[in-house]
Structure 1
Amino acid sequence: MSGTNGKKPPLRAEKRYGTATKRTKPAPNKVAKPKPKRQKTASAGGNGRIRGAFGALLRWIARLIWKVTSRTALVCALILGAAVVYTATTLPDVASLLDARTRGSVTLIDREGEIFAWRGDQYGGQITASSVSKHLKHAVVATEDKRFYRHFGISPRGVASAVRINLSEGRGPLSGHGGSTLTQQTAKLLCLGVPFDPETWDSEAAYEADCRRTTIWRKAKEAIYAMAMEARFSKDEILTIYLNRAYLGASARGFQAAAQRYFGIDAANLNPAQSAMLAGLLTAPTRLAPTNNLQRSQDRAATVVRLMYEQEYLTTAERDQAWENPATLSKAAEKRAGGYFADWVMDTAPSFLTRETTEDVFLYTTLDQRLQTAAEDAMKLIFETKVREGSLAQAAIVVMSSDGAVRAMVGGRETKVSGAFNRASMAMRQTGSAFKPFVYGAALDLGFTPNATVVDEPWCMDVPGSGEYCPKNYTKDFKGRVTLAQALAQSLNIPAIRVSESVGRENVGRVAEDFGIESDLAVGPAIALGTSESTLIEMTGAYAGILNGGQSVRPYGLTELRLQGDDAPLIGKEGGLGERVITEQAARSLTWMMHQVTETGTGQRAKLPDRQTAGKTGTTQAARDAWFIGFTADYVAGVWMGYDDNTPLTGVTGGGLPAEIWRETMVRVHEGLPARALPMDAPLKAVAPAPQAQERKKKRKLDDRAERVLIDVLRNLLDKN
């Protein structure tokens, strides 16, 4: 390497740019293919420009839509967020949202201290999602909203699914399935925070119907309210509100009231089967209520159990246990005892403390559930065995103590009712011969005896304004001279009218009214035959006055009324013994006469095998009403039978089916009670005089009268001299 002084020359990279010559590898010789020339036409150039312009327009429109949509969405989101935040700030605390009933509840308690009926909006007390049975909590979530713990108050997936189902079933998008979450349902239960105002709404029912309306605008407000609740409350707090507010049939508001109403336990003690039944009621509380149809309620509960299992809230063993042992009603709920009685007691107390109460009220009553069952079973037996199938005839029964305490009441053949027409307390019907004890009671009070005689023979009398009145006996024959006891036992009409006319109709009416017959009494001689109208409970109460020695009785069913939490009663007993109507001796004699009715007279079918009875049959004109009212030493009972439309009964008198219903009732009522004698006095037996003695007695009376007339004439002559 000369010229380098023995040194290696420095390595230098070749310059990439500039004038330096690059060493390149010679490229192989290739023959360039000529490109085909593109022929340009006027039409092709025009189409390209049009397509380009159209594409640009579409891109501009898309950008415009995106800008408008995004900005609109942003504005809507801001408005929605503001609405949610504002609504959340207006929500009260959870405790104030649990019970917003506008009416209170009424709990009815029998003579033994057991609950037998409920009225009004029953509320069992505040519960929380953490205090109730875990099975109840799981059943509600599984049934109503399985995504409850994952959504923010609304479920777009649920709404879309509901709309699809509604459209596929031929309904409107918002008709039928709503896709509402549990939070939205809670919002609806709260009426979106709008309280009930009686001055704005015609009724509470109209207010609640408006709360349940489904419109797009209301759905939007519901969604905002639901999201506000999610922002303000925890999931368990929302569930707590729902558990307290939901309606579950039979006037039960909230799951605590429902658990007590149907099962007699607290919501904390519900098992899976019971929890499933209550959760199943949410879709249709009245129709599915187990007190209306237990089987239908159990079928729905089985579906809820399946949902709980599918969502892993139940094990296989728990699922099978719930299916094999479905929930059943408590004894009190199953009996639904005293529906008519409960309605009657509610009517006897002030309405502002019962039907219109805003408080929770407890009514302590005289009802004896054993006697109530006895009366219901007796009526059922007679109608099933001795009344033709398809008959529309009705009947009513009242059982009471001698002091007027009503122990049982059946107001019609359908016993499992509430709010139905009560034939025991509401039906005004002619009493027929059941009125006759008041006629003979008036006579005995004036000094007549059961052995006093009256003639049963064809007889007519002139009635001012009505003309001639000729009463007839039911049997169309005549018995001649009979005692008062025989006339009552055989229910003879002519002797009853003769006695009534003899003692005075006004006295007969006074005795009936003082014994408790409050309805207007008929005028004229037919008053003795029961042409006046009365109710079964009035008549039974009047007979109770005869049993207790002639002292009037006012039937009663309420012993105490208390407000929840108060120890002192607000109202006490209103009823019981009143003023004396007839003397005790007259009452004891009348009781003996009525005893003859069941021993030898028209009421023999009412005779009991092991104790004394007394009573009276009654059949009105054309057999439109049939009665039997009577008593033992322990209880008084009355039975009425007839048609609601006054159609005549066929082949029925008071001594027939009513007497048999009475007997079947009293046999059951007295089961296990020792027999006691009736408080009655039999009259001294009178020996009928021989015909010759009667003639001599009659002649003696005439002679005595002639003698008195002669003495008066002589005295007048002496006075003149």
Structure 2
Amino acid sequence: MAGTGRKKPPLAAPKRRAKAAPAKRRKSRKKPARTGVVGFFGRLLRWFLRLIWKITSRFAMVCALILALWVAYFYVALPDVTALVDARTRGSVTLLDRDGKVFAWRGDQFGGMIDAATTAPQLREAVIATEDKRFNWHPGIDPRGIASAIRINLREGRGPLSGNGGSTITQQTAKLLCLGVAYDPDTWETEAKYEADCRRTTLWRKAKEAVYALAMEARYSKDEILTIYLNRAYLGAGARGFEAAAQRYFGKSANDVSVSEAAMLAGLLKAPTTYAPTNSLTRAQERANLIVGLMQDQGYLSAREAEAARANPAQLSAAAAARAGGYFADWVLEETPDFFGSDTTEDVIIRSTLDQRMQKAAEEALAYVFENKVREGSKAQAAIVVMSADGAVRAMVGGRQTKVSGAFNRATMALRQTGSAFKPFVYAAAMDLGFTPNATVVDEPWCINVPGSGQYCPKNYTKEFQGRVTLVDALAKSLNVPAVRVSESVGRETVQAIASQFGIESELAQGPAIALGASESTLIEMTGAYAGILNGGRAVIPYGLIDLRLQGDKDPFITQTGGFQERVITDQAAESLTYMMNQVVERGTGGRAKLPGWQVAGKTGTTQAARDAWFIGFTADYVAGVWMGYDDNTPLTGVTGGGLPAEIWHETMVRVHEGLSPSPLPMLVPAPVRADPVPQREAPKRQQDTAERVLLEVLKNILGDGR
């Protein structure tokens, strides 16, 4: 076989070309674009949401910037803590009794600054547990507390901002600071209206309050904020701050209060007047028990400590419980210059003449007589004044309601006719001109022609006449005709002069009826005038202030402004008159005023139609006056000065003299009557001239001159 000459390729299987594996498809993150209407609105919504986000985020940034600037504005304006603790624009007055014990306060009291960091721990814990349990953690506002308060308000049918406020202690402090707006007397009519505006609740003010609170949290520590709060909060009874409240209610510093006392103070924050223990101790104690429960729930007290606090509730101090001397305190302030009294801008301490034992005696005596001897439902009123011979007022009751302040004081404000209680000044004139209690005067029908008024014919209360009587009998039986005869004989001007010099400043009657007490006077004037008789004829000015000093000062700014004045009648005349007034009690119209073991001198007084009834009298130690009547001048029924007023006087003085040893009255008992007249002595300080000698001869013929 013929070849071709070419070498044949070796036999081999033909190479197969590998087939590429199909590539895996990656899942696309992009959703397939939708077309049509759905795709269009989807893209539009996404664009709108991005636009809202941009606007909102930028608006939030702007609001945050504005808020930061607002907070910074308040932050810069906030002063040091010590400048914020005392909120008052006016001062206060603390009144001490004769022993230096507090018995009354007037004005808003600030007891001094206390520090939250060093005060009693239980007080701090009670306040936080009551007002803001998350105080130590929130930044000034508490959204949880606000939401809870709104929910409670809505559930109880109130507006969202009415009732529970959800405010933190910081927000409450901001409100107490009136958001930094200071009181301006040119803008606000009164401080009360300024404070009422500060307490208004509106959305705008709540917003400002929140911002101010944030600024305070940035400016002050928690202790400093709580310090401001503890010192500025109003806690009832005129107490500003916890120190003043602790002093007022418990007589101790806020740094020394017990758990139950701290709980009671913290309980006042919700409603100071309602829960003030001076208004209702029981209600205050019940509120305190609720606070003790909160303290236990929040871990501040153990179960044993809480039970002990409930078993020993807080009690008022003696001064707060008694609240004695309401009328007296008002009178002392009225007698004090306004810039140290009612209008003071300083904290003033006044030491007074008040004796709280005697004050209690007078109040108890008045209550006893009205409860046991006055018909139920009677609207009659009464007043009592007790003083020492030098005019130092020891007790004062201005009406049947004794626990009052700012009330009408019938002892110092009521001008009433004095009736026969005025007669001692008529006989004082006769005694000073040299006559004795045994001088005689005729008691018989008698008339005087009064120019411009016609005849004036005095009559005795009994409508009977006694004939010739001694002056002592005339006064003891309170005979009217002899009193007018003596007054006309010695001269009305002389009687007026003596009464005025003894301290009766009210306008005196000009006619013959002056002898029968037609003039009006106040109880304190009349009692002070009788004190002048007791101390030997030397007038006194009733006073209640011993000294006045500013808080923190040792030396007094003002001292006693009363007491002994100039002599009005001679010692002998005063002692003779005292004897005559002693006989009024021993055998005359004042018999119900007798005090076992004590010599008493006094005089009854009953005005026309029995509109006023008086008894004023004294022992060797104290003078007391009692008035009784109706405020609207309604006549008393069956009451004379020798009746209920004398009994009130008796009940008062029995209590006042309890524990004292009886002392004799400084009185001159006259010698037995002699038939022959005795030459008249010359009254000291009264120059006898011819006219006076003639007058004495006339008096001797009219009155007689028994010694």
Equivalent residue number for residue 682 of structure 1:
669
Say yes or no: does 1:127 pair with 2:119. Answer: no
Distance in 2 between residues matched to 1:20 and 1:494, nearest whole Å: 161
Aligned residues: 650
User: Which of 550, 556, 572 is residue 563 of structure 1 equivalent to?
Assistant: 550
Distance in 1 between residues matched to 2:569 and 2:371, nearest whole Å: 41
Which residues in structure 2 correspond to 1:558-637 (within 5 Å)? 558-637=545-624
Shift of 1:53: 4.9
Shift of 1:687: 5.9
User: Which of 450, 455, 477 is residue 442 of structure 2 equivalent to?
Assistant: 455
Q: 1:450 to 1:85 in 2, by over 3 A?
A: same
Equivalent residue number for residue 19 of structure 2:
21
Shift of 1:212: 0.6
Give the letter for the 2:323 counterpart: R
Structure 2 unaligned blocks of 5 or more: 1-15, 23-34, 677-707
Equivalent residue number for residue 534 of structure 2:
547
Distance in 2 between residues matched to 1:602 and 1:64, nearest whole Å: 103
Distance in 1 between residues matched to 2:436 and 2:267, nearest whole Å: 69
Shift of 1:596: 0.5
Say yes or no: does 1:259 pair with 2:246. Answer: yes
User: Which of 169, 188, 192 is residue 201 of structure 1 equivalent to?
Assistant: 188
SS at match of 1:502: helix
Distance in 1 between residues matched to 2:52 and 2:479, nearest whole Å: 101
Equivalent residue number for residue 240 of structure 1:
227
Q: Deviations over 1:111-157 (max 9, x none)?
A: 11211111122111111112211111011001111111121111122
Distance in 2 between residues matched to 1:443 and 1:20, nearest whole Å: 160
User: Which of 189, 192, 217 is residue 230 of structure 1 equivalent to?
Assistant: 217
Say yes or no: does 1:147 pair with 2:134. Answer: yes
Say yes or no: does 1:671 pair with 2:633. Answer: no
Say yes or no: does 1:475 pair with 2:462. Answer: yes
User: Which of 143, 154, 161 is residue 167 of structure 1 equivalent to?
Assistant: 154
Q: 1:52 to 1:566 in 2, by over 3 A?
A: same
Distance in 2 between residues matched to 1:350 and 1:173, nearest whole Å: 49
Distance in 2 between residues matched to 1:140 and 1:390, nearest whole Å: 46
SS at match of 1:400: strand
Which residues in structure 2 correspond to 1:482-493 (within 5 Å)? 482-493=469-480
Say yes or no: does 1:506 pair with 2:493. Answer: yes
SS at match of 2:269: helix
Q: Deviations over 1:674-695 (max 9, x none)?
A: 1110000111121679xxxxxx
Q: 1:300 to 1:20 in 2, by over 3 A?
A: same
Give the letter for the 2:301 counterpart: L
Q: 1:62 to 1:479 in 2, by over 3 A?
A: farther
Equivalent residue number for residue 334 of structure 2:
347
Q: Deviations over 1:411-436 (max 9, x none)?
A: 11111111111111111111111111
Distance in 2 between residues matched to 1:66 and 1:533, nearest whole Å: 87
Distance in 1 between residues matched to 2:214 and 2:447, nearest whole Å: 88
SS at match of 1:307: helix
SS at match of 1:618: strand
Equivalent residue number for residue 503 of structure 2:
516
Equivalent residue number for residue 220 of structure 1:
207
Equivalent residue number for residue 272 of structure 1:
259
Shift of 1:59: 4.3
Say yes or no: does 1:138 pair with 2:136. Answer: no
Say yes or no: does 1:84 pair with 2:82. Answer: no
SS at match of 1:108: strand
SS at match of 2:589: coil
Shift of 1:490: 0.8
Q: 1:238 to 1:461 in 2, by over 3 A?
A: same
Distance in 2 between residues matched to 1:287 and 1:584, nearest whole Å: 57
Q: 1:19 to 1:159 in 2, by over 3 A?
A: farther
Shift of 1:250: 1.3
Q: 1:23 to 1:394 in 2, by over 3 A?
A: closer
SS at match of 2:468: strand
Distance in 2 between residues matched to 1:536 and 1:576, nearest whole Å: 17
Distance in 1 between residues matched to 2:533 and 2:73, nearest whole Å: 73
Q: Deviations over 1:14-63 (max 9, x none)?
A: xxxx9732589xxxxxxxxxxxxxxxxxxxxxxx9555555555544444
Equivalent residue number for residue 384 of structure 1:
371
Say yes or no: does 1:328 pair with 2:315. Answer: yes
Distance in 2 between residues matched to 1:459 and 1:337, nearest whole Å: 50
Query: Larger deviation: 72-81 or 395-404?
Result: 72-81
Give the letter for the 1:379 counterpart: L
Q: Deviations over 1:72-131 (max 9, x none)?
A: 222111110121122112211111111232111211111112111111221111111122
Say yes or no: does 1:291 pair with 2:278. Answer: yes
Distance in 2 between residues matched to 1:52 and 1:607, nearest whole Å: 114
User: Which of 80, 83, 98 is residue 96 of structure 1 equivalent to?
Assistant: 83
Say yes or no: does 1:496 pair with 2:483. Answer: yes
Equivalent residue number for residue 411 of structure 1:
398
Shift of 1:196: 1.1
Shift of 1:261: 0.8
Distance in 1 between residues matched to 2:144 and 2:52, nearest whole Å: 26
Q: Deviations over 1:649-705 (max 9, x none)?
A: 11111111111111111111111111110000111121679xxxxxxxxxxxxxxxx
Q: 1:521 to 1:23 in 2, by over 3 A?
A: closer
Q: 1:95 to 1:472 in 2, by over 3 A?
A: same
Q: Deviations over 1:434-461 (max 9, x none)?
A: 1110011111111221111112222222
Equivalent residue number for residue 28 of structure 1:
none
Equivalent residue number for residue 364 of structure 1:
351
Detail structure 1 runs of 4+ shifted over 6 Å in the superposition. none
Q: 1:315 to 1:461 in 2, by over 3 A?
A: same
Identity of aligned residues (%): 72
Query: Larger deviation: 425-434 or 450-459?
Result: 450-459
TM-score of the aligned structures, taking structure 1 as reference length: 0.88
Distance in 1 between residues matched to 2:52 and 2:609, nearest whole Å: 88
SS at match of 1:282: coil
Say yes or no: does 1:661 pair with 2:632. Answer: no
Give the letter for the 1:283 counterpart: K
Distance in 1 between residues matched to 2:307 and 2:611, nearest whole Å: 57
SS at match of 2:268: helix
Equivalent residue number for residue 57 of structure 2:
70
Q: 1:159 to 1:477 in 2, by over 3 A?
A: same
Q: Deviations over 1:261-293 (max 9, x none)?
A: 111111111111000100011111122111111
Give the letter for the 2:630 counterpart: Y
Distance in 1 between residues matched to 2:566 and 2:252, nearest whole Å: 46
Shift of 1:363: 0.6
Distance in 2 between residues matched to 1:133 and 1:19, nearest whole Å: 99
SS at match of 1:567: coil
Distance in 1 between residues matched to 2:161 and 2:219, nearest whole Å: 28
Q: 1:56 to 1:354 in 2, by over 3 A?
A: same
Which residues in structure 2 correspond to 1:47-66 (within 5 Å)? 53-66=40-53
Structure 1 unaligned blocks of 5 or more: 1-17, 25-47, 690-721
